[in-house]
Structure 1
Amino acid sequence: MKNIINKFAAVIFCTSFLLGCAGPKVSQYSNEKPTLDLSEYFAGTIDAYGIFTDRSGVVVKRFTVLIQANWKVVDGKKVGTLDESFDYSDGTKQKRIWTLTEVSPGKYIGKADDVVGEANGSSSGNALNWAYTLALPVDGTIYHVQFDDWMYLVTPKVMINKAQMSKFGINLGEVTLSFYKR
C-alpha cells in the first residue's frame, strides 16, 4: 500500500510540475503596445536576420530573409502572402511562401508548402503565437518538427521572433529572428 501511495504522490508531483511549467498565453500581452496588426506589419518589404541554436545554445546557422508581403480581402477575410527568400551562412538558399488568413479577430491560419497541415496563430497586444509542424530537410531526410513560434512587436518597424523547435516533445533548438520593416 505504501508503494502505491508513493507512486500516486510522484504522479501528482510530476503533473503539478509540468502544469507549472506551461508557457505563456498570448492573452497576457493584451495591454502591451504597440499593438501588432499582421496585415499592417507584414505589408511591403521586411528584412529579417536570424540564428539557429542547437539545444545546448551553440549557433549552428546564421541567415537573412527578404520578405515581400501583401494583403487582400477574400470573401470578407484578410488574406496575406509572405514571399520569403532565405540566405544561409553556409551558402544555401531557401524559398517559403506563406498564405495567412485572419479567420477571426486575432486568430490566424497559415499555409506553406513545407508546413504539414496548417499553422494556427493567435495575437493579442504586441504578441503573436504560432504553432505548426514543419517538414525540415536534413541531410537528404525530411523530419517533421514542431514549432512554438512567438513574435513580439517592439516598435512599429521592429519585431523579435523566438521559436522553439521540438520532436516528440524533445527540444531540438531555437530560432531567433529580428524583423525590420522598411
Structure 2
Amino acid sequence: MQTLIEAALARSRTIMMLFVLILIMGTVSYIEIAKESDPDITIPMAYVSVSLEGISPEDADSLLVHPLEKELKGLEGLKELKSTASEGHASIMLEFLSGVDIDQAIIDTKDKVDRAKSELPDDADEPTVTEINLSTFPVLRVNLSGNVDFAILSRTAKNLQDAIEAVDGVLEANISGDRGTTSANYYSS
C-alpha cells in the first residue's frame, strides 16, 4: 500500500495544479473580502453620570445612585449594572445583553433617567446618558508640561493641534487643560 507522500509524488502534476488553484482562490478571496482599518464596533454599554458639588461619597450613593438604580434596574435587556459614588459625583455603568438594539436601549435609559430626576436633589446637575462607542475615544493622547510660561505651552499645543488636524484621517484634535498642563485628544475618522 502506498503512503500519502508516495501517492502525492506519483501524481505531481495533479498536486501542483491543486496547489496553484488553492493559491489563486486564496488571493481572490483576500482581495474581495471587505476590510476596514477602523471598524465601528458596537459595545452594548451605556454610562450615566450625575454631579452634585460638595457632597460626600456616602451622600452621593444615597442621594444620586439609589434613585437612578431603582429606575434603571427595570431596563429590558440589562445584563449588569455597576455604580460608583465619589465626592460630588455618581456614575452608573450599564451593560446590556449581546444582541440588544443599543440605540433603543439608550432611549429607554434616558427615559428612565428622566423619571428618576424628580427624586434627585434640586441642585444636582443634569444627569447625562452616554453610549460607550469606541469610535469616540481618542486614538492618541498627548500631554505637554514643562517649566515654561503658560502662553508658550498653550501656543505649542495650538501649533501641535493644527499640525495633527492637517493629517489625513484625523477627525479632530481637542485641547484641554489647566495652567501648567495641557493635554490633547486626537480622534481619527
TM-score after normalising by structure 2: 0.26
Question: If you compute each CA radius of gyration, which structure gives the higher value, 1 or 2?
Answer: 2
TM-score after normalising by structure 1: 0.26
Structure with greater strand percent: 1
